[in-house]
Structure 1
Amino acid sequence: MGLGFGGDVATYYARFRRGYPAGVLEDLRETFQLTPDDTVLDLGCGTGQLAVPLASRVRHVVGMDPEPDMLRLAAETSARHGVTNASWVLGSDTDVPALGALLHGRPLAMTVIGQALHWMRHEVLFAELSGLLRPGGGVAVLANGTPAWLHDTDWSRALRGCLEEYFGTELKASCGTAGEDRERYARALAAAGFGEVRHREVSYAEELTFEELFGGVCSAVPEDMLPAPAERPAFAERIRQALPHGTFTEQVRVSVLTGRTARARH
């Protein structure tokens, strides 16, 4: 069922994938009028970067992911933060129709998908989700910045060149973060019957150490392509030698795309 992001990749993901700014979580709360009585689904939840902070804003969070190791680490993170209102479910977008039974007929207030929609059949998914949402609820598609090797900076270009040479492939995939991806998802939300489709961004600069940069790279490499532990120091040194010295400034653009169901009539 998994996509090849278990094992050490999941461990790198838990440690080095950044969380989301508080303003983004507040935006979601306001957009969908989330209450302490609501249930939300984090589809493709990874190690809980969205589900864990969302738990304090709602009654219950369901984190769903096809990778058992991601879910195990999400549960560990949840426990460390004292979160007791989250469930971790093994599954992918193709399992969404079965959620109705799991929820015992209780509608979702929101489904959030963070940096994972590019793995899913989004047109089919949006249509299936529409029947699981309460009035005024909806879908939020988040992208937590462009991949580190696709920025318009000297260090990013050097990183991209090094990775392309090492893996023998051209790195162009935006992981759903490019403008054309957001436009495509917005059209699909509208086609699935969602209204008030809108897009906004939160931008900030972040200074990365080499360890953070390397860990982020390893969190994005499929498990079968990640160098073995014994080879990883040489892989890290190869990247280090290709990059300029010092820290690396990353301009992070968090994209928030939302679509709402119709409100109930009074």
Structure 2
Amino acid sequence: MTTPAFGGEVSEYYQRFRRGYPPEVADALAAAFAVTHDDVVLDLGCGTGQLTRVLAPRAGAVLGMDPEPAMLAQARQATTEPNVSWLLGADSDVGALLSLFGPGRFAAVTVAQALHWMDHERLFTEARPLLRPGGGLAVVTNGEPLWLQDTAWSAALREVVSSYLGTPLHRTCGTDETSQARYADALSAAGYAVDLRVVEYATTLTVEEIVGGVFSAMSPEQLPDADARPAFTERVREAVTTHGPLREHVVVRILTGTR
């Protein structure tokens, strides 16, 4: 649906409307890699820090790393945890962290909704020396995109957004079974012991939250002009509210590879 450009107003929508993570997700990650307050965790492709902040109480320090300065600016503004730091960088920069931090420095490297933009095979290999024994890498998917869910309101939303963009919506952002299997195979090939944990929760959305979530997945060039956004919101409202209540069942898949 998008290109990997999340600057400008898109980063604001991302911070305001992207799903957060329930504490159970951080608990599962901490259990998978035996994370303690002596450990450092790297959250790669952190965006505005939704997962980074949830991890903070479980570790000694968490480093959020993202290639988009606007995302990190939003993350800093939204974060009060004193043990969180931010670093500008992409997955292609992970190998350089070895000379900066040394081998075995991280208990975990987490990658949430951004892995589909990355060279995951290279990342899995280059991250391994950074991990302490018993540590590992986690691929976290926080539910399916709003426009690809198996509900009537999601199908209606998909029609509105497809019409606006002039193209069908099919990008799964790595949440589909085929992508998950590919990631699991790549983790195994890179020498990790692979496991899967699942956390589920349910929520009810407002139209404003749905529209904000859609805008957070657009590039700045795709965003409707400011004066056109109320009309877009009304189109979404008319399409989805007949299928209310707007309930969402979110399945968080935590694919872990332990060193």
TM-score, normalised via structure 2 length:
0.95
Write the distance in 1 (CA, Å) between the matches of 2:184 and 2:104: 26
CA deviations 1:121-162 (Å, max 9, x no partner) are 000100000111100000000000000111111111110011
CA deviations 1:69-125 (Å, max 9, x no partner) are 11011111113xxx1111111111001011123325561110000111000000010
8 Å Cα contact 1:63/1:89 also seen in 2: yes
8 Å Cα contact 2:102/2:130 also seen in 1: no
The verdict on how the C-alpha distance between 1:188 and 1:106 changes in structure 2, with shifts beyond 3 A counting, is: closer
Residue aligned with 2:62, SS:
strand
* Residues 57-96 of structure 1 mapped to structure 2, 5 A cutoff: 57-79=58-80, 83-96=81-94
8 Å Cα contact 1:3/1:66 also seen in 2: no
State the match for 2:201 in structure 1.
204
Worse-superposed segment, 111-120 or 239-248 = 239-248
Residue aligned with 1:226, SS:
coil
Write the distance in 2 (CA, Å) between the matches of 1:51 and 1:152: 29
Residue aligned with 1:206, SS:
strand
Structure 1: any 5+ residue segments left out of the alignment? 262-266
* Residues 165-184 of structure 1 mapped to structure 2, 5 A cutoff: 165-184=163-182
Identity of matched residues, % = 52
Write the distance in 2 (CA, Å) between the matches of 1:132 and 1:105: 5
State the match for 1:125 in structure 2.
123
8 Å Cα contact 1:3/1:67 also seen in 2: no
State the match for 1:144 in structure 2.
142
Write the distance in 1 (CA, Å) between the matches of 2:218 and 2:258: 34
Task: Find the partner of 1:249 among 244, 247, 250.
Answer: 247
How far apart are 1:244 and its partner, in Å? 2.7
Residue aligned with 2:49, SS:
coil
State the match for 1:38 in structure 2.
39
State the match for 1:185 in structure 2.
183
Alignment pair present for 1:49 and 2:74: no
Moved over 4 A (4+): none
8 Å Cα contact 1:138/1:260 also seen in 2: yes
Task: Find the partner of 1:217 among 200, 214, 223.
Answer: 214
Kindly tell me the number of residue pairs found equivalent between the two proteins.
Answer: 256
Residue aligned with 1:87, SS:
strand
Structure 2: any 5+ residue segments left out of the alignment? none
RMSD after superposition: 1.4
State the match for 1:264 in structure 2.
none
Write the distance in 2 (CA, Å) between the matches of 1:179 and 1:87: 33
TM-score, normalised via structure 1 length:
0.93
CA deviations 1:1-20 (Å, max 9, x no partner) are x9311111110111111211
Q: Quick one: which amino acid aligns to residue 71 of structure 1? A: L
Q: Quick one: which amino acid aligns to residue 51 of structure 2? A: L
Alignment pair present for 1:159 and 2:160: no
How far apart are 1:186 and its partner, in Å? 0.3
